[in-house]
Chains A and B, each alone.
Chain A
Amino acid sequence: MIVELSDRDRAMLAGAEGEAARFAMNLMVRFAEAVEASSLVDAECAHIDGCLYHGQASLDFVEHLLALGGRVRVPTTLNVGSVDLIHPELFIGDPGLGSAGARLMRAHEEMGCIPSFTCAPYQTIHRPRFGAQIGWAESNAIVFANSVIGARTERYGDFIDLCCAVTGRVPYYGLHLTENRRATVVVEVEGLPPEWDDAGPACVAVGHVIGRRCGDRIAAIVGLPATTTEDDLKALGAVGASAGSVALFHAVGLTPEAPTLEAALQGGRPEETIRLTADDLRETVRKLSTVPDGTTLSAVSLGTPHFSFAEFERLMQLLDGPRPAVDMYVNTGREVMQQVRARGWEERLNAAGVTVVLDTCTYLTAIMRDLSGAVMTNSGKMAYYAPGNLDIEIAFGSLADCVASARAGKVVRS
């Protein structure tokens, strides 16, 4: 397998742009060979997941690039790390792990990365444009960029994400090419449970189904409610990329490459059609909870992926009323939090007992103080991973149900 390299790629590989670029380009070419890419193309931006600490090798890799004089060549955002650098006191895990995790985040900043520390970089000023070739890591960011924005990335991850940033190149294969973005499965939502006034749970249910049943095949979804928001699509992609390896979906009439079903299928015929009834959606959502209604809660956790400003707007309305009886956590990025502060909402969040967690996420790291009872979330992704990652019981519900349950101290539904 020969990857066609440009003159500049070859020069970089020979060390003409420094040792760090040579090192990164060597890995890039090997990776491109392993995925059978025909060539490399320019990346407009990169998003790095490698700032989450997985062990000494994570840190050694970045320190090695730094020692070689490594700098990123394209605008590069950072995903969540292991600690909240703004509120380090929130971290209650092993101190050695905390400090190594913090060093890993700082080392990426020293490489010239933007200290965004968010898994939702697409809801910041660093949102890529439609059609842009990008090198992104983090499964929810990948599926959002591809599906909701129409930017083009493959499933990049540890090490190669930073190599994209340092070389400014990505392998030209897979979802970087138009013909590979065609839907081959149609998912028809035949009916929505009438008691759901919020498109959120329906989108989570659909995301879960495409994750389980489509694998890495691309689905074209028909029949999502017209009230579906960008944040609902964010939740759909996040759970789809957790339950399966969804990197791109099309929602007909909602996402940019699917103005019509025919466009999403690029004129082809689907190999499978999956029909979902209201009962199917109810059943999928019910299974996301490991505990029954009425179970005592110790916390409510929101913002997996990171809460957007629009989600904060909805939360602020729901917070009017009695103070929640259990801890509430909201994970978000620094930039969204600036907007929240500018609105003067921080005091109200504090008064309501809401802990805002920046830079990291409650499903990844030791932050939640009381895990004696179950945790409730409106995130399908959190519901999918938390029982394994944190060894806790989880209840899934809409945002409104989460806030009502936080007040009641137990799982309640409207």
Chain B
Amino acid sequence: MKAVTLVPGSAEGEVFVMAEPLSFWGGLDAATGAIIDRWHPQCGAVLTGKVVVMERGRGSSSGSSVLAEAIRAGTAPAAIVMLTRDAIVTLGALVGRELYGRDCPVVMAAAADWSALTAASRLTVEAVDEGAEIGS
């Protein structure tokens, strides 16, 4: 599946489909990688090492800091696949990459691929500036 690269990198992992958009600020514990928003249906789930598939982002711009901090702490998702461009997620992953040299590629997939993405158990993400490839 072709996708647009928002943040380059290479990753592979188990798929985690986000049931609802999550604000990383106040919603993700960077120390543990767990969802801590008690209103979120997947509260308690751990995103560490997962290829997180979510339609879109949500919430405070401080979410960028939380994602960068999770990348530093080694608790971040392996990759993030979205259907929309999201500046907060993009920036957090990019800063994590620039500061710590750790990949957390962020890509924008085609809406037509949503069912294939959410049905997969594992995904690979290969994202370079020219474009990204998602494999199951």
Which A residues are within 8 Å of any B CB, using their own CB?
23, 26-27, 30-31, 33-36, 49-50, 52, 54-58, 60-61, 64, 137, 139, 155-160, 388
Contact = CB atoms under 8 A, between A and B. Distances in A.
Interface stretch (B10-18, B41-49, B61-69, B119-127): B61-69
A11 to B, nearest CB: 20
For the complex of A and B, list the 5 residue pairs with the smallest distance between their C-beta atoms, beginning with the closest.
A157-B61, A55-B69, A54-B65, A57-B68, A57-B69
A157 B88 contact: yes
Contacts of B88: 157
B99 A64 contact: yes
A50 B65 CA distance: 9
Chain B interface, >50% SS class: helix
B85 A31 contact: no
A54 B62 contact: yes
Nearest to A389: B26
Contact of B66 (A27, A54, A137): A54
B6 A159 contact: no
B85 to A, nearest CB: 5
Contacts of A54: 25, 62, 65-66, 69
11 contacts: A30-B94, A33-B6, A56-B73, A57-B65, A60-B72, A157-B64, A158-B62, A158-B64, A158-B91, A159-B68, A159-B92
Chain A interface, >50% SS class: helix
Interface of B: 6-7, 25-26, 30, 60-62, 64-66, 68-69, 71-73, 85-88, 90-92, 94-96, 98-100
Given A30-B7, A30-B94, A156-B61, A57 B86 contact: no
A27 B95 contact: yes
B110 to A, nearest CB: 15
Contacts of A23: 98
A61 B99 contact: yes
Nearest to A173: B87
A27 B99 contact: no
A105 to B, nearest CB: 15
B72 A30 contact: no
A155 B99 CA distance: 24
A255 to B, nearest CB: 24
B68 A61 contact: yes
B61 A137 contact: yes
Nearest to A139: B60
Contact of B87 (A35, A49, A57, A61): A35
B14 to A, nearest CB: 25
